[in-house]
């Protein structure tokens, strides 16, 4: 399994502060979304994963939502199958997690939930978070393209792309349920960023 990561908050300020939308830097939490899915027994018992591509990340103290998106090589010219993930939130004492290896205790010390199933329940051994890659229209730089960010809601609700609610968990990690199938060489990774407050989902006229 891959070593865990910590992310610091990219939040600055001083003096009077107001409630705002603040975000950490992005961190890679899965390095190969083209790799085969783990066994269903691992999806049901996530503390038993041993995939070095998986990198759990510690939730910053003020975060309440996590944004997830694919980062993939510009050489990838087409996407036949978007990767679909099972996204886990983890609760428990610091002693139940070994950051150097990314391993969680599997003895009842830690508690696991599926954060992505808020999108729509599809079964414990299937994934609900689609990375939404579009090789033609995704934003990019000279090295990578960046997939869309999904949210808890569907349809025309303005909370789309607001990420997943963390529900107070301490760690987040993701396992591949449907691997990416792409045309072109290069890595397909999953990256996460944390926000301190969700965007407003509704406006009220008074």
- Express each pLDDT in 27-81 by its tens digit: 999 999 999 999 999 999 999 999 999 999 999 988 988 999 999 999 999 999 9
Q: Is residue 200 part of a domain?
A: no
Q: Is residue 37 part of a domain?
A: yes
> Is 90 exceeded by the pLDDT of residue 197?
no
Q: 182 or 162: whose pLDDT is higher? A: 182
pLDDT (0 to 100) of residue 200: 47
Q: Give the burial class of 6: count Cβ atoms within 10 A of its Cβ; 0-12 exposed, 13-18 middle, 19 or more buried.
A: exposed
> Scanning the structure block, which residue is given the tokens 């950490």?
24
pLDDT (0 to 100) of residue 157: 43
> Is 90 exceeded by the pLDDT of residue 15?
no
The domain in which residue 182 lies consists of 24-195
The DSSP output letter for 4 is P
Which pair of tokens denotes residue 202?
A: 């509704």
pLDDT (0 to 100) of residue 81: 96
Burial string for 131-154 (b: 16+ CB within 10 Å, else e) reads bbbebeebeeeeebbbbbbbbbee
Q: Is residue 17 part of a domain?
A: no
pLDDT tens-place string over residues 102-150: 999 999 999 999 998 765 556 777 888 888 899 999 999 999 999 998 7
pLDDT tens-place string over residues 82-99: 999 999 999 999 999 999
pLDDT (0 to 100) of residue 127: 81
pLDDT (0 to 100) of residue 16: 47
Q: Is residue 12 part of a domain?
A: no
Q: 75 or 155: whose pLDDT is higher? A: 75
Q: Is residue 204 part of a domain?
A: no
Q: Is residue 64 part of a domain?
A: yes
Q: Is residue 108 part of a domain?
A: yes
DSSP annotation string for 154-177: -TT-TTTTSBEE-TT-SEEEEEEE
Q: Which of 46, 34, 39 is nearest to 70 (CA)?
A: 34
CA distance 175 to 116: 11
Q: Give the burial class of 60: count Cβ atoms within 10 A of its Cβ; 0-12 exposed, 13-18 middle, 19 or more buried.
A: buried
* Total residue count of the chain as it appears in this document: 206
pLDDT (0 to 100) of residue 4: 78
Q: Is residue 107 part of a domain?
A: yes
Count of structural domains, the chain: 1
pLDDT (0 to 100) of residue 205: 47
Q: How many CB atoms lie within 10 A of CB 22?
A: 18
């Amino acid at each position: 399994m891959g070593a865990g990561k910590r992310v610091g908050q990219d939040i600055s300020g001083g003096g009077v502060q107001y409630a705002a939308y603040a975000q950490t830097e992005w961190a890679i939490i899965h390095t190969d979304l083209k790799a085969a899915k783990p066994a269903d027994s691992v999806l049901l018992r996530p503390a038993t994963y041993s995939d070095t591509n998986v990198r759990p990340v510690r939730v910053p103290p003020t975060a309440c939502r996590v944004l997830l998106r694919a980062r993939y090589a510009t050489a990838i010219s087409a996407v036949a199958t978007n990767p679909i993930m099972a996204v886990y939130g983890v609760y428990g004492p610091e002693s139940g997690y070994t950051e150097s290896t990314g391993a969680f205790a599997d003895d009842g010390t830690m508690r696991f939930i599926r954060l992505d199933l808020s999108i729509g329940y599809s079964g414990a051994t299937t994934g609900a978070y689609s990375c939404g890659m579009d090789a033609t229209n995704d934003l990019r730089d000279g090295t990578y393209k960046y997939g869309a960010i999904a949210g808890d809601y569907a349809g025309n609700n303005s909370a789309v792309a607001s990420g997943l609610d963390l529900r107070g968990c301490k760690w987040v990690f993701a396992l591949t349920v449907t691997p990416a199938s792409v045309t072109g060489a290069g890595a397909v990774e999953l990256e996460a960023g944390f926000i301190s407050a969700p965007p407003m989902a509704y406006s009220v006229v008074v």
